[in-house]
């Protein structure tokens, strides 16, 4: 994908938990954050998945893209914490926990996210002031 620089978060655009997580990130990110966002269901999302060797129907977890690498599941989520304000950046310490534990919990939540939090028929659209951050 041309002209896209900086870290990107790909998220499930119809999942209420995922949309809420993106809104949480936007509310609590550092002022110098350069995060960009795209839904996994969008053309941009599918193109970025393909560029990073992931299937177009990959909806199991968010995907965090940075420096040409794709991070999924807990690895991606914890790397996003680097972009949050100081009082939440401590979450990156979770990377020291065994990946199997972190991803086990992440997968359990992922399997249940639609039943616990619901699902929308269409992807969430950001308000006008944030639209430039969404690909």
pLDDT, one tens digit per residue, over 57-69 is 899 899 999 999 9
Residue 55 inside a domain? The answer is yes
Q: 93 Cβ partners below 8 Å, 6+ apart?
A: none
Q: For residue 3, is it within any domain?
A: no
pTM for this model (two decimals): 0.88
Domain containing 38 equals 8-133
* Residue 2 belongs to some domain of the structure: no
The total number of structural domains in the chain stands at: 1
Considering the domain boundaries, does residue 85 fall inside one?
yes
- 18-76 pLDDT per residue, tens: 999 999 999 999 888 889 999 999 999 999 999 999 999 899 899 999 999 999 999 99
Average pLDDT, stretch 88-117?
91
Whether 84 has a pLDDT exceeding 70, the answer reads yes
**pLDDT > 70: what percent of the chain?**
94
Residues 13 and 39 sit within 8 Å (Cβ to Cβ): yes
What confidence score (pLDDT) does residue 3 get?
A: 62
Whether the per-residue pLDDT at 126 is higher than 80: the answer is: no
CA distance 52 to 68: 8
116, 17 in Cβ contact below 8 A? yes
Residue 88, in any domain of the structure: yes
**pLDDT of the residue at 2:** 55
């Amino acid at each position: 994908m041309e002209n896209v620089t900086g870290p990107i978060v790909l998220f499930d655009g119809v999942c209420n938990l995922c949309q809420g997580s993106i809104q949480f990130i936007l509310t609590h990110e550092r002022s110098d954050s350069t995060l960009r966002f795209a839904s996994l269901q969008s053309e941009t999302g599918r193109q970025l998945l393909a560029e990073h060797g992931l299937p177009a129907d990959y909806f199991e977890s968010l995907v965090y893209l940075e420096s040409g690498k794709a991070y999924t599941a807990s690895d991606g989520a914890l790397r996003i914490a680097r972009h949050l304000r100081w009082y939440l950046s401590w979450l990156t310490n979770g990377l020291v926990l065994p990946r199997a534990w972190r991803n086990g919990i992440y997968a359990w939540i992922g399997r249940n996210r639609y039943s616990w939090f619901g699902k929308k028929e269409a992807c969430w659209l950001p308000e006008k002031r944030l639209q430039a951050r969404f690909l």
